Amino acid sequence: MWELRWNNPRLHPPERRKTWLACTAHRGSLGDFLDARGFLREVVPVPGSPTLEG
């Protein structure tokens, strides 16, 4: 699992982060969606996520 941390700069202060969770299969498409709008701030793995092991 991945955390896609984002905010809408027109609505949120710069330090605010909203979080969407995504599996590896959907990380790219959700990240592209947020990035195209200038909302994506960072993508980080969810600690201890079994989908990232092995």
Q: What is the pLDDT of residue 39?
A: 98
Could you tell me if residue 51 is inside a domain? no
Q: What is the DSSP string of 10-32?
A: TTS-TT--EEEEE-HHHHHHHHH
CB-side neighbour CA atoms (13 Å) of 7: 10
Q: pLDDT grade, residue 52 (50/70/90)?
A: low
Could you tell me if residue 52 is inside a domain? no
Task: Say how many domains are in the chain.
Answer: 1
pLDDT at 53 over 70: no
Could you tell me if residue 12 is inside a domain? yes
Q: Which tokens go with 12? A: 């949120």
The parent domain of residue 30 ranges over 2-46
Q: What is the pLDDT of residue 38?
A: 97
Which long-range contacts link 24-29 to residues 24+ away (Cβ below 8 Å)?
Answer: 24/51, 24/52, 27/2
Could you tell me if residue 53 is inside a domain? no
Tens digit of pLDDT for each residue in 15-35? 999 999 999 999 999 999 999
- The mean pLDDT of 27-52, rounded to a whole number, is 92
Could you tell me if residue 30 is inside a domain? yes
Q: What is the pLDDT of residue 54?
A: 47
Sequence-separated (6 or more) residues with CB below 8 Å from residue 33: none
